[in-house]
Amino acid sequence: MDSNSRSIAKAVSYRILGSTSTGLIVFYFSGDAKISAGAGALDMIANIGLYFLHERAWNYISFGRQERHAPDYEI
């Protein structure tokens, strides 16, 4: 299970990438840097929160998770 701080760091780094692409797409279609920067910023804020909640929820879902077995011996 990831710590809260690790989940936040993953959310922020992923959203920087995602929000940059959103801003570039909006700029491509609108040609307005101010609108694209605003869309990118809003996208980042909203999706960091959503990603964090999504990541934390998956910690309670066992689907696809492999159980860790104790070693046959201990030192």
Interval 6-45: pLDDT, tens: 877 887 888 888 889 999 999 999 999 999 999 989 988 8
> Would residue 70 count as lying in a domain?
no
| Max CA pair span of the chain | 64
> Would residue 75 count as lying in a domain?
no
Residue range(s) defining the domain that contains residue 56: 32-60
Asked if 51 and 15 touch (Cβ cutoff 8 Å), the reply is yes
User: Number of folded domains in the chain?
Assistant: 1
pTM of the model: 0.59
> Would residue 46 count as lying in a domain?
yes
- Taking only the tens place, the pLDDT of each residue in 50-72 is 888 888 898 888 888 777 777 77
> Would residue 13 count as lying in a domain?
no
> Would residue 25 count as lying in a domain?
no
> Would residue 39 count as lying in a domain?
yes
> Would residue 22 count as lying in a domain?
no
